[in-house]
Amino acid sequence: MSEQRFPVIPPEKFRFVGTEGRLHDKKLETKPIGYFRDAVSRVVRNKSSVGAAIIIIVLVLYAIIVPMVCQNNYTLALTDTNYLNYTKLPPRISWLSWAGVDGTESKTVNSADYYRYRAMGVETGRDPVVDVYKAAYEDKNAASATTLYYDIRLDDYYALGMLEKTLTFDQYEAIQKWQDETGIQLIYPAADPKALTAYKGDADQRANIWYAVDSKGVAQLDENGNYQPIYLKGAADDYHSIRIEGDDGSYSYARVSGTSAAKSYTVRLSKYNYFIYCYGFEPSFAFGTNDKGQDILTRLAAGARFSFILAICVSAVNLVLGTIYGSIEGYYGGRVDLVMERISDILSGIPFTVVTVLFQLHLSKQVGVVGSLLFAFVLTGWIGMAHSVRMQFYRFKGQEYVLAARTLGAGDKRIMFKHIFPNSLGTLITGCVLVIPGVIFSESSLTYLGIVNLESSTMTSVGTMLANGKPYLRDYPFIILFPSLFISLLEVSFNLFGNGLRDAFNPSLRGVE
């Protein structure tokens, strides 16, 4: 029989072997448990990993949903100067008021401020002074010994008080129409400027004064202890809407100036009700507002979303680069490995901050701040992954099954990615997860230090929020509390989850627990 050579063996040359005889071993009744099935089941059994995964999911949902729901409302409107006054309001959630999240703070105020807060309550019916701990005492250490001080619990939302605003005729009419429809009073009678000539308060305080005061702003009460109104009377102001109690119809609600063609009306608006007028609901910020008056809840979500997107991008790019680089290094070995190792040695020697600074200086004009930050992370980030892939290649490339695959005619690419690479998947997945908290931490540090500046009206980062809140740490700690809490939760849960994954993928721990 002469030997025949076929470039491709035709199908008819194949023949089944042993179809006649019966096999006597039993069929497997359960499914085999593979590497990944095993790992997943071990992660699920680890309670702390599951808890961490749930926290991560909640944080991610927060970052996705909140900016979508709250976009385009007061939260991002930095350019609108009216809202700038709603600054540094403490957190207020109506259903959590029993736990102290009620927008109040304890404060020591002098008598001028105290009377002003009380007067707000008398005028609008919303008394900002919730509680008086210690009334009218003298403080020996204070600058002026004659001033009386009050320790009070102040509702910062009611203490917003009045805003002096100049309106056009149309705006003035629109507000009056709204007042008639809703029954909420927005415009309050103007104070007589003649009665306030001696008073030296700033415009913000001046807008709240509708009663007789001395030069320091302390209220001059009548014999019954009531405020003495100094409302402007008798001027024509086109007002035809709700009037305050005790108004006999003679109070003026605006100081009118300008010619008849273009009149402008300077009015006192209740800030609390003005918010309702603008947005249709009462002001209540779950995380409070920052020093610029932006809502921390949505700002933080925007920053968190940016952090997540950046971290996932970095993780993905690192995975691809690290895999390819590490595979080539590990598979070819020898001189290729030596040269490539030296390159990654040099890259890993550059301090990360230096890389970031140089990329910011060079690339931020061409590809933007975010792009250059991404480049900086990627430049050295893949080295760890490449290293672990390389180790796996060194471990497996000499094994018999690889030799078998080669004998069967598999090419380099097929052996690399079909036969050896899947062994390193476990470490790679763990690496990818553990990269994310690292990136978020570095990003927040860099933005905190001001090396990278991501702040704009629609975008922010956790680090910038921390840096902006830092000067107010003493008096308004909530500005810094929520970003800090967010980043701490994130780091802890990602590290827990990552460690759980690492244990689950560690073959030496298989079946031990």
Partner 1 sequence: MFKYVIKRLLLMVMVFFIIVSMCFILIKLLPNKPAEQFGKDKELIEMRREALGYNKPLLEQYAIFVSRTLIGGNWGISEGKYLGRDVWSVFIEKMPATVVVNLYTMIFAVPLGLLLGIYAALKKNKWQDHLISTGVMVFVSVPSYVYAFLVQYFLCFKLKWFAPLMKEGTDFFSWNMFTTMVPAILSLGFGTIAGLARYTRAELTEVLTSDYLLLARTKGLSRAQTTVRHALRNSMVPIFPMILGEFIGIISGSMIIEQIFSIPGVGRLYIESITSATPDYNMFMLLSAFYTLIGLVSGIIVDLSYSFIDPRIRMGSKK
Q: If you ran DSSP here, which 8-state letter would residue 92 be given?
A: B
**Which of 346, 366, 398, 512: binder of partner 1 (CB under 8 A)?**
346
Give the range of 5-13, 81-89, 325-333, 488-496 binding partner 1 by CB under 8 A.
488-496
Between 50 and 410, name the residue whose CB sits nearer to partner 1.
Answer: 50
The answer to whether 476 contacts partner 1 (rule: CB under 8 A) is: no
**Which of 38, 247, 491, 503: binder of partner 1 (CB under 8 A)?**
491
> 3-class SS at 108?
strand
The answer to whether 361 contacts partner 1 (rule: CB under 8 A) is: yes
**Which of 78, 312, 358, 410: binder of partner 1 (CB under 8 A)?**
358
Between 75 and 468, name the residue whose CB sits nearer to partner 1.
Answer: 468
The answer to whether 454 contacts partner 1 (rule: CB under 8 A) is: no
Helices 478-505, 296-332: inter-axial angle, 10-degree rounding: 30
Give the range of 89-97, 267-275, 332-340, 492-500 binding partner 1 by CB under 8 A.
492-500
> 3-class SS at 351?
coil
The answer to whether 350 contacts partner 1 (rule: CB under 8 A) is: yes
Distance CA 375, CA 501 (A): 27
Nearest distance, CB of residue 441 and partner 1, angstroms: 6
The answer to whether 266 contacts partner 1 (rule: CB under 8 A) is: no
Query: Phi/psi at 102 (nearest 5 deg)?
Result: -120, 15
- Asked if residues 253 and 132 have their Cβ atoms less than 8 Å apart, the reply is no
Place of tokens 């061409």: 366
Give the range of 87-95, 211-219, 390-398, 448-456 binding partner 1 by CB under 8 A.
448-456
242's CB contacts (< 8 A; 6+ apart) are 179, 180, 183, 185
Q: How many Cβ atoms are within 10 Å of 99's Cβ, its own excluded?
A: 8
**Which of 210, 441, 482, 505: binder of partner 1 (CB under 8 A)?**
441
The answer to whether 437 contacts partner 1 (rule: CB under 8 A) is: yes
Report which residue type is found at 497. F
The answer to whether 444 contacts partner 1 (rule: CB under 8 A) is: yes
- Contacts with partner 1 by CB under 8 A: the residue count is 33
Distance CA 456, CA 327 (A): 41
Distance CA 110, CA 138 (A): 10
- DSSP string across 213-278: B-TT--B---TTS---B-B-BS------S---TT--S-B-S-EEES-SSS-EEEEEEEHHHHHHHH
Interface positions, 66-95, toward partner 1 (CB under 8 A): none
- Asked if residues 191 and 230 have their Cβ atoms less than 8 Å apart, the reply is yes
Between 111 and 445, name the residue whose CB sits nearer to partner 1.
Answer: 445
The answer to whether 291 contacts partner 1 (rule: CB under 8 A) is: no
**Which of 487, 500, 504, 505: binder of partner 1 (CB under 8 A)?**
487
The answer to whether 54 contacts partner 1 (rule: CB under 8 A) is: no
Interface positions, 404-423, toward partner 1 (CB under 8 A): none
Structure tokens at 243: 């009037």
Between 97 and 348, name the residue whose CB sits nearer to partner 1.
Answer: 348
Give the range of 116-124, 162-170, 269-277, 357-365 binding partner 1 by CB under 8 A.
357-365
Report which residue type is found at 479. I
The answer to whether 34 contacts partner 1 (rule: CB under 8 A) is: no
Distance CA 459, CA 199 (A): 42
The answer to whether 100 contacts partner 1 (rule: CB under 8 A) is: no
Nearest distance, CB of residue 494 and partner 1, angstroms: 8
* 3-state helix vs strand vs coil in the chain, percent to 5: 55, 10, 35
- Asked if residues 263 and 256 have their Cβ atoms less than 8 Å apart, the reply is yes
Nearest distance, CB of residue 353 and partner 1, angstroms: 7
Nearest distance, CB of residue 360 and partner 1, angstroms: 8
- Asked if residues 292 and 78 have their Cβ atoms less than 8 Å apart, the reply is yes
Q: Would you tell me which residues interact with partner 1 (CB under 8 A)?
A: 345-346, 349-351, 353-354, 357-358, 361-362, 437, 441, 444-445, 448-451, 466, 470, 473-474, 477, 480, 484, 487-488, 491-492, 494-496
